[in-house]
A and B are shown apart, each in its own frame.
Chain A
Amino acid sequence: MRPRLTPQRLPEWSTRHPRLTIALTAALTALFAAWLPGMRTDTDSKNMLPATSDVRVLNDRVDQWFGLHKDMIVVGIVRERGIFELDALESLERLTSAIAGLRGVVSVDVTSLTTADNVVAEGGMLRVEPLLPRVPETPEQMERLRRSLMGNPMVVGRLVSEDGTTTAVYVPLERGANGKVVADQIRDLLARERTAGLQYFVAGDPVARDTFGAEMFRQMAVFAPLAGFVMLIALHFMFRSFALSLSIMAVAMVASSWSMGLLVAVGQPVHIMSSMMPVFLMAIATDSIHIFNEFYFRLRETSDRRQAVLETMEAVGAPVRYTALTTAAGFGVLALGGIIPVRVFGLFVGFGTMVIRLMSFSLVPAVMMIVPDRTLETASRREDLQAGASRWLGALGRLSIRHPLAVLAAGAVLLAMVATGIPRIRINNNMIHWFKPQSPIAVADRVMNAKLGGTSLLHLVASTPEAEGLKDPARLAYVEALQREVETDEDVGKTVSVVDLVKRVNRVMQEDRPEQEVLPATREIVGQYLFLFGMAAKPATLENLLDAESRRANVWVQLKSWDAGAVERVVGRVEAYTKSHPPPALTVQPAGIAYFNLVWNHEVLKDMVRTFLVALVVVLAILVVSFRSLAWGLLSFVPLLFTIALIYGAVGLLGKDFDMPISVLSTLSLGMAVDFPIHFIRRYRQRLAEGQSVADALVWTVARPGKGILRNAVLFSLAFAVMLASSLTPYITVGLFIMTMMTLSAVFTLLYLPALVALRPVRRAPANAGFAKEG
């Protein structure tokens, strides 16, 4: 051993001054934790893309051109026997004005039947007024209202459903208003509306987004401690020492405090992604289990406590260091990506991982020094290769050494079966799917999409180079044709543009006959119609459809699905149409929240895929370098590849989207699934270097460090099983994913590595001499 090896000195020092080590750790942790009260949270997943990103700049501009608002909540009122009844419309009227009075709502632009402009002809007089100026009193009046609304293409599918059972209130939010807060206020209002037979629903992107953000933080505050508690109990069963069990949790808490504290200190807000850091760090901290595992075995072999600790650290030091390194690298690679909150997340989890590593060599040995003798004696007595898990693990090891080909073939078959799912993976994100199907948000979205044109809003902005250019009937006709084309898509429920308005005015300016609902012949007429409309209507009605210079028209496209894939299809349809039907000096640009979701999907998820692939290479490189051997590096990579291939194959086969939660987990899985092989191979090669035969060394590795691996996997699974109780599907996904990943990775490590090694020609690893020095 070379004298300069400080990592080895750290355990020496901390075992000599265990209490001082603990005190120092506590002091440093307090220092970092002091920053925590200054924490700012950012629950808005939109902020995954910076405000300066192209799509956000575009959307800001489109909002300005057309006086649009960033976010819109949709409130649905449903009565199955029909909405055209006195009490139902009165309820709508009450709600509309109550909602307009809520803080965070753009009062003047709250749109429902009682506020939306409608152009009608009435005894030679042109009237522009709310669709529902006053609730009709007689059945005849009601019937007349129903007929006039159902015959108005600007209304049907948007404000009233085609079957007349549903009406909607569109609630634009002020900049910076929180969708969940406003939605909660609306729900309070709805709770006070007790009109018989009416059902109310609250849907829309800001509700889903902000509810998810808020819930995520809330549930993290519940599940992180809960998972910690479960782990603590499990650890106690494994090691029978409260102090030792607690020290693993302490490592997790120290790492969380340091990295969260540092995050706050550098002025970063805690984003929905970084809110998951404590859970991830807790998972990573369980790597310390390998230290305890070995320590208990060592205790049986030597009577000197400090000796046992130092030997343990020497034996597991290298694997612990390298597993930390690969995990940190797996996350660190995220910093190469283009998404800032993901970079922050990667960097700080990476930092936390290094803190865990530091604690493994300081805090953990220190705690091992001060645990009372009696506790340890009783506990370590149970650690015997001939007993318990070690015994059947040994049998398992012998099995795979004896029948390596059979074991490998079985694995290959399984892999081949599941791997067919990989090409089927769809990169797609749908925020509604982040809620359980029976949750109010998912139900509201489903009902509204079934009844009305759709809750997801896409804008198609048609621009001309010439001012007043969109008053040209030829261009308007093109916009109309584009609307009809887009409407052929199954997920497009409704489109509205200035064309619909001009046609409407044309009709009422004449004899108000349906066949007169067409575009007029000249630019002049269009101009005067629009001016006329502008004299009578709310300015916003026209502004939302046509910019001030009549250079750009805004087509509102309502989608029935929040799938990024659906938006992509519609945008593709527009592109194809403009190619096959060249427009008259007109360009069409998609925008709006649906387009944002599409770009977000591309940028964030594809970025994740890219960094994931880079991480794979980086981890492999670290393995090869650390083992000083390409063969060992590749070998240690096998369980990881198997695990990932199986999981993603299953994701593909089950038809589950490769979405945000899954993509975050990919990098996590990388860093963690490779831990077990590292422990296995390192310990196996140490054993081999001690002069054992290949078969004996393998069986020993499966039985002894293998028990640590198994413990680690069980611990993980238990902790993350807690998350299955969450109401947010991403947490359930996280829970399931990690449970599966750790179990598979453990199984593949314990089953396949022995088989693969057994197949190799017996050969001493050339880097044996390096083991001690590498540490």
Chain B
Amino acid sequence: MLKRAAVVIALTAAVLPGRQVHAQEPPSAGTILAKSQQAFFYAGSDMKARVLMTLTSASGQKRVRELTMLRRNEARGGEQKYFMYFHQPADVKGMTFLVVKYARKDDDRWLFVPAINMVKRLAARDASQSFVGSDFTYEDVSGRDLEADGHTLLREERVGSRDCYVIESIARSPAQYKRKLAWIDRNSFLPIKEEYFDAKDELFKTFSADEVAEVGGVPTVTKRTMVNQKTGHTTTVVFTDVAYGLGIDADIFSERYLREPPRKWVQ
């Protein structure tokens, strides 16, 4: 954990001098993305948030998924654990979902189905798998192995009030996209905008970080949207009650707590 904190400090230090850094050689695409992953998926030692996902179809039909998400970073090589408790839709209230994410192998996933009182292990599948039927994939939610793509820093560009690096990533191993463009904030290293291109090099998906807030000093994307440009289907995700460094116990992330969600964290 100390190491993690050290990284964050180092990052902050690297970013703060701003102009001076600008005048020098820009960092490599790989470095920028590594910092970005850190800021976007690994912020804090752990994290808790109430997540409201709104799925809107092209015809305007809306579906809602509301969940409490607990995330804990493990010490070893980027391993993370996610615990999710579903509040909505109504007929799935009480379903819980546990994901253990490894850097170099498939996730482990368990799901508790209260209606039949059963915990079932789910097999992970390809990278393009949708997260709970939304326009976000599991990779969009928890990150993709950086070495699975080749990256190039194309240019720097302003998006709104932010100076961004524009990085092109070309998939080396199977992905939902063939090519991806990311606009990464020079200061927070959060992705501000992303464009995904399919095998035919047609734009099919766009990401935008719509709201960014400081939570306990950590820049956090509190509202984000993914639009499927081919179907017009949209998913908006709003984070509330975000908190970092809560000291969430490691054993929360176990089958026992799937059946009996921890009251302390899940209301």
Enumerate chain A interface residues (CB-CB to B < 8 A): 61, 64-65, 67, 100-101, 103, 106-108, 122, 124-129, 468, 471, 509, 520, 522-525, 527-529, 531-532, 534-536, 538-539, 542, 547-549
| CB contact under 8 A between A528 and B115, given known A536-B129, A548-B57 | yes
Q: B123–A548 contact, CB under 8 A?
A: no
Complex Cα–Cα for A459 and B222 (A): 41
B108 CB to closest chain A CB (Å) equals: 10
Give residues of chain B (209-228) contacting chain A, Cβ–Cβ below 8 Å. Answer: none
Contacts of B198 in A (CB 8 A): 107-108
Give residues of chain B (95-140) contacting chain A, Cβ–Cβ below 8 Å. Answer: 95, 97, 111, 113-116, 118, 120-123, 125-126, 128-134
A513 CB to closest chain B CB (Å) equals: 16
Complex Cα–Cα for A165 and B112 (A): 40
Q: B57–A522 contact, CB under 8 A?
A: no
Q: A125–B123 contact, CB under 8 A?
A: yes
A-facing mask of B191-217, CB < 8 A → 1, else 0?
A: 000000011100010000000000000
B6 CB to closest chain A CB (Å) equals: 36
Q: B62–A548 contact, CB under 8 A?
A: yes
Complex Cα–Cα for A103 and B198 (A): 11
**Further contacts, 11 of them, CB under 8 A, given A67-B233, A108-B230:** A64-B57, A127-B122, A128-B122, A128-B125, A509-B113, A528-B95, A528-B115, A531-B95, A532-B111, A539-B130, A548-B57
Contacts of B133 in A (CB 8 A): 534-535, 539, 542
Complex Cα–Cα for A100 and B128 (A): 15
List the B residue with the shortest CB-CB distance to A97: B199
Contacts of B230 in A (CB 8 A): 106, 108
Q: B116–A525 contact, CB under 8 A?
A: yes
Q: A548–B200 contact, CB under 8 A?
A: no
Q: B92–A531 contact, CB under 8 A?
A: yes
Q: B61–A547 contact, CB under 8 A?
A: yes
Interface status of B91 (Cβ within 8 A of chain A):
yes
Q: A64–B58 contact, CB under 8 A?
A: yes
Q: B89–A531 contact, CB under 8 A?
A: yes
Q: A64–B118 contact, CB under 8 A?
A: no
Q: B120–A126 contact, CB under 8 A?
A: yes
Q: A535–B111 contact, CB under 8 A?
A: yes
Interface pairs (12), CB distance under 8 Å: A101-B200, A107-B198, A126-B121, A128-B122, A128-B123, A128-B125, A129-B126, A468-B91, A528-B91, A532-B111, A539-B130, A542-B133
A-facing mask of B166-201, CB < 8 A → 1, else 0?
A: 000000000000000000000000000000001110
Contacts of A67 in B (CB 8 A): 57, 231, 233
Contacts of B59 in A (CB 8 A): 61, 64-65
- A509 interface neighbour in B90, B92, B120, Cβ under 8 Å: B120
Complex Cα–Cα for A522 and B114 (A): 12
Contacts of B131 in A (CB 8 A): 535
Q: B125–A536 contact, CB under 8 A?
A: yes
Complex Cα–Cα for A677 and B125 (A): 77
Contacts of A531 in B (CB 8 A): 86, 89, 91-92, 95, 132
Q: A100–B199 contact, CB under 8 A?
A: yes
Q: A524–B115 contact, CB under 8 A?
A: yes
Contacts of B55 in A (CB 8 A): 548
Contacts of A536 in B (CB 8 A): 122-123, 125, 129
Complex Cα–Cα for A555 and B204 (A): 28
Interface status of B155 (Cβ within 8 A of chain A):
no
- A528 interface neighbour in B58, B92, B130, B204, Cβ under 8 Å: B92
Enumerate chain B interface residues (CB-CB to A < 8 A): 55, 57-59, 61-63, 86, 89-92, 95, 97, 111, 113-116, 118, 120-123, 125-126, 128-134, 198-200, 204, 230-231, 233
Q: A522–B61 contact, CB under 8 A?
A: no
Complex Cα–Cα for A677 and B58 (A): 61
Q: A534–B132 contact, CB under 8 A?
A: yes
Q: B231–A525 contact, CB under 8 A?
A: no
B17 CB to closest chain A CB (Å) equals: 44
Q: How many residue pairs at the A-B interface have CB separations less than 8 Å?
A: 105
Q: B97–A535 contact, CB under 8 A?
A: yes
Complex Cα–Cα for A523 and B198 (A): 38
Q: What are the 10 A-B residue pairs with the smallest beta carbon separation, nearest first?
A: A527-B91, A127-B123, A64-B59, A534-B133, A548-B61, A525-B115, A524-B115, A125-B121, A531-B92, A528-B115
A521 CB to closest chain B CB (Å) equals: 10
Q: B63–A549 contact, CB under 8 A?
A: yes
B107 CB to closest chain A CB (Å) equals: 12
Q: A523–B91 contact, CB under 8 A?
A: yes
List the B residue with the shortest CB-CB distance to A122: B123
List the A residue with the shortest CB-CB distance to B94: A528
List the B residue with the shortest CB-CB distance to A468: B91
Complex Cα–Cα for A126 and B116 (A): 15
Contacts of B130 in A (CB 8 A): 534, 538-539
A71 CB to closest chain B CB (Å) equals: 15
| CB contact under 8 A between A129 and B123, given known A107-B198, A527-B92 | yes
B212 CB to closest chain A CB (Å) equals: 28
Contacts of B91 in A (CB 8 A): 468, 471, 523-524, 527-528, 531
Q: B97–A509 contact, CB under 8 A?
A: no
Contacts of A538 in B (CB 8 A): 129-130
Contacts of A126 in B (CB 8 A): 120-123
Complex Cα–Cα for A129 and B122 (A): 11
Q: A107–B200 contact, CB under 8 A?
A: yes
List the A residue with the shortest CB-CB distance to B176: A108
A179 CB to closest chain B CB (Å) equals: 18
A559 CB to closest chain B CB (Å) equals: 27
| CB contact under 8 A between A103 and B57, given known A127-B123, A128-B123, A528-B91 | no
B67 CB to closest chain A CB (Å) equals: 11
Complex Cα–Cα for A525 and B199 (A): 38
Contacts of A525 in B (CB 8 A): 115-116
Complex Cα–Cα for A522 and B113 (A): 13
List the A residue with the shortest CB-CB distance to B123: A127
Complex Cα–Cα for A340 and B61 (A): 33
Complex Cα–Cα for A539 and B92 (A): 17
Contacts of B118 in A (CB 8 A): 509
- A535 interface neighbour in B114, B126, B132, Cβ under 8 Å: B132
Complex Cα–Cα for A520 and B118 (A): 14
Contacts of A549 in B (CB 8 A): 61, 63
Complex Cα–Cα for A107 and B59 (A): 21
Contacts of A468 in B (CB 8 A): 89-91
Contacts of A101 in B (CB 8 A): 199-200
Contacts of B132 in A (CB 8 A): 531, 534-535
Contacts of A65 in B (CB 8 A): 59, 61
B115 CB to closest chain A CB (Å) equals: 4
Q: A129–B199 contact, CB under 8 A?
A: no
Pick the most buried of A61, A122, A528: most chain B CB atoms within 10 A of its CB: A528
| CB contact under 8 A between A125 and B92, given known A536-B129, A538-B130 | no
B230 CB to closest chain A CB (Å) equals: 7
Complex Cα–Cα for A65 and B120 (A): 30
List the A residue with the shortest CB-CB distance to B65: A531
B223 CB to closest chain A CB (Å) equals: 21
Contacts of A128 in B (CB 8 A): 122-123, 125
List the B residue with the shortest CB-CB distance to A506: B116
Complex Cα–Cα for A336 and B129 (A): 54
B124 CB to closest chain A CB (Å) equals: 9
Contacts of B116 in A (CB 8 A): 509, 520, 525, 528
Complex Cα–Cα for A525 and B91 (A): 8
Q: A522–B121 contact, CB under 8 A?
A: no
Contacts of A532 in B (CB 8 A): 95, 111, 113, 120, 122
Complex Cα–Cα for A539 and B62 (A): 15
A436 CB to closest chain B CB (Å) equals: 35
Q: A103–B200 contact, CB under 8 A?
A: yes
Contacts of A529 in B (CB 8 A): 113
Complex Cα–Cα for A61 and B90 (A): 26
B63 CB to closest chain A CB (Å) equals: 5
Complex Cα–Cα for A765 and B132 (A): 87
Contacts of B86 in A (CB 8 A): 531
Complex Cα–Cα for A547 and B57 (A): 10
Complex Cα–Cα for A144 and B120 (A): 23
